[in-house]
Chains A and B, each alone.
Chain A
Amino acid sequence: MGGETVGTLTKKDFATSNEVRWCPGCGDYAILATVQSFLPELGIPPHRIVFVSGIGCSGRFTYYVDTYGVHGIHGRAPAIATGIATARPDLSVWVVTGDGDALSIGGNHLIHALRRNVNIKILMFNNQIYGLTKGQYSPTSEEGKVTKSTPFGSVDHPFNPIALALGAEATFVARSIDNDRQHLTEVLRRAAAHRGAAFIEIYQNCNVFNDGAFDMLREKEHAVHNQIRLRHGEPIIFDEGRRCVSVGENGRLVITEVANTLRDRIVVHDERGRPSLAFALAHTAGHGPTEPTCIGVFREVQRPVYGEAIAAQIKLATERLGPGDLAKLLRSGDTWSVS
Chain B
Amino acid sequence: MAKPVVEKDRVVIRFAGDSGDGMQLTGDRFTSATAVLGNDLATLPDFPAEIRAPAGTVHGVSAFQIQFASEDITTPGDHPDVLVAMNPAALRAELKLVRPGATIIVNEDAFTQRNLERAGYTSNPLTDGSLDAYQVYRVPMTSITVRAVEELGLTRKEAERAKNMFALGLVSWMFGRPPEVTLDWLQRKFGDKPQIYDANVAAFRAGYNFGETTELFAQRYEVKPAPAEPGTYRNISGAAALAWGLLAAAERSGLRLFYASYPITPASELLHELSRLKNFGVITLQAEDEIAAAGMALGASFAGDLGVTGTSGPGMDLKAETIGLAVALELPLVVVDVQRAGPSTGMPTKTEQSDLLLALFGRHGESPIPVVAARSPSHCFEAALEAVRIAIEYRTPVILLADTFLANSSEPWRIPEVEDLPRIDPDFATAPNAGREFMPYLRDERLRRPWALPGTPGLRHRIGGLEKDEAGQISYDPENHQRMTELRAAKVARIAEDIPPLEVDDPDGDAEPLARGRGSSHGAIRAAARRVRERGRKVATAHLVHLNPFPRNTGEVVRRYPKVLIPEMNMGQLALLIRARYLVDARTVAKVKGLPFFAEELEDAMMKVMDE
Contact = CB atoms under 8 A, between A and B. Distances in A.
B15 interface: no
Contacts of A322: 279
Interface in B241-278: 244, 247-248, 251, 256, 258, 260, 277-278
Contacts of B303: 50, 83-84, 87-88, 91
A108 B460 contact: no
A80 B463 contact: no
B579 to A, nearest CB: 34
Contacts of B464: 53, 62-63, 69-72
Interface in A297-338: 310, 313-314, 317-318, 320-324, 326-327, 329-331, 333-338
B420 to A, nearest CB: 11
A146 interface: no
B292 A109 contact: yes
B578 to A, nearest CB: 33
Contact of B415 (A72, A310, A314, A335): A335
Contact of A84 (B225, B278, B454): B454
B521 interface: no
B298 to A, nearest CB: 6
B232 A336 contact: yes
Interface in A113-169: none
B233 interface: yes
Nearest to B243: A329
A72 B32 CA distance: 47
B454 A47 contact: yes
B233 A338 contact: yes
B243 to A, nearest CB: 10
A50 B454 contact: yes
A17 to B, nearest CB: 9
Contact of B463 (A70, A81, A86, A314): A70
B454 A82 contact: no
Interface stretch (B165-173, B280-288, B343-351, B482-490): B280-288
Given A73-B321, A80-B299, A108-B289, A336 B278 contact: no
A28 interface: no
B280 A336 contact: no
Contacts of A337: 231-233
Interface of A: 1, 4, 16, 18, 45-48, 50-53, 62-63, 66-73, 76, 79-84, 86-88, 90-91, 108-109, 111-112, 310, 313-314, 317-318, 320-324, 326-327, 329-331, 333-339
Contact of B418 (A91, A327, A336, A339): A327
Interface string B465-477: 1100000011000
B463 A87 contact: no
B461 interface: yes
B380 interface: no
Contacts of B455: 47-48, 68, 88, 90-91
Contacts of B47: none
Most buried by B among A72, A83, A334, A339: A83
Contacts of B287: 79, 112
Q: How large is the interface on B (under 10, 10 to 19, 20 to 34, 35 or more residues)?
A: 35 or more
Interface string B295-311: 11111111111010000
Given A1-B460, A47-B458, A90-B455, A331 B296 contact: no
B460 A314 contact: no
30 contacts: A18-B473, A18-B474, A48-B455, A62-B464, A69-B461, A69-B462, A69-B463, A70-B462, A70-B464, A71-B462, A72-B464, A79-B292, A81-B299, A82-B295, A83-B260, A84-B302, A86-B296, A87-B283, A91-B455, A109-B292, A112-B287, A313-B278, A318-B279, A321-B278, A327-B417, A330-B415, A333-B32, A336-B35, A336-B38, A337-B233
A333 B289 CA distance: 34
Contacts of A310: 283, 285
B499 interface: no
A1 B81 CA distance: 72
Interface in B438-467: 438, 454-466
Contacts of A1: 432, 436-438, 458, 460
A88 B304 contact: yes
A323 B279 contact: yes
A112 B410 CA distance: 37
- Lowest 8 CB-CB distances: which A-B pairs, in order? A83-B299, A71-B464, A324-B280, A79-B295, A317-B278, A69-B462, A83-B296, A80-B299
B325 interface: yes
Contacts of B277: 324, 329
Given A79-B296, A334-B36, A326 B289 contact: no
A76 B462 contact: no
A336 B279 contact: no
Nearest to A76: B295
Contacts of A323: 279-280
A335 B181 CA distance: 11
B295 A83 contact: yes
Contacts of A81: 299
Nearest to A313: B278
B431 to A, nearest CB: 12
A338 B231 contact: yes
Given A112-B288, A314-B283, A82 B465 contact: no
Contact of B462 (A63, A82, A313): A63
B457 A47 contact: yes
A21 B523 CA distance: 58
B238 to A, nearest CB: 15
Interface string B36-49: 10100000000000
Most buried by B among A4, A90, A330: A330
A337 B225 CA distance: 12
B229 interface: yes
A66 B38 CA distance: 62
Given A70-B302, A87-B303, A314-B281, A335 B233 contact: yes
Contacts of A324: 247, 277, 279-281
Most buried by A among B260, B283, B329, B473: B283
A91 B453 CA distance: 11
Contacts of A76: 291-292, 295, 321-322
B299 A331 contact: no
Contact of B279 (A67, A71, A320): A320
B570 interface: no
B279 A84 contact: no
Nearest to B278: A317
A76 B322 CA distance: 9
Given A334-B36, A334-B181, A87 B292 contact: no
B232 A335 contact: yes
A24 to B, nearest CB: 19
Most buried by B among A50, A79, A313, A322: A79
Interface in B307-331: 307, 321-322, 324-325, 329
B416 interface: yes
A326 B280 contact: yes
Contacts of B456: 47
A84 B283 CA distance: 12
B234 interface: yes
Most buried by B among A108, A321, A333: A333
B124 to A, nearest CB: 40
Interface string B119-150: 00000000000000000000000000000000
A91 B302 CA distance: 12
A73 B321 CA distance: 8
Given A73-B295, A84-B302, A112-B288, 13 more contacts: A16-B462, A47-B459, A79-B299, A82-B285, A83-B297, A83-B301, A320-B279, A327-B417, A330-B234, A330-B418, A331-B234, A338-B233, A339-B230
A326 B251 contact: yes
Most buried by A among B248, B305, B455, B474: B455
B460 A68 contact: yes
A109 B418 contact: no
B610 interface: no
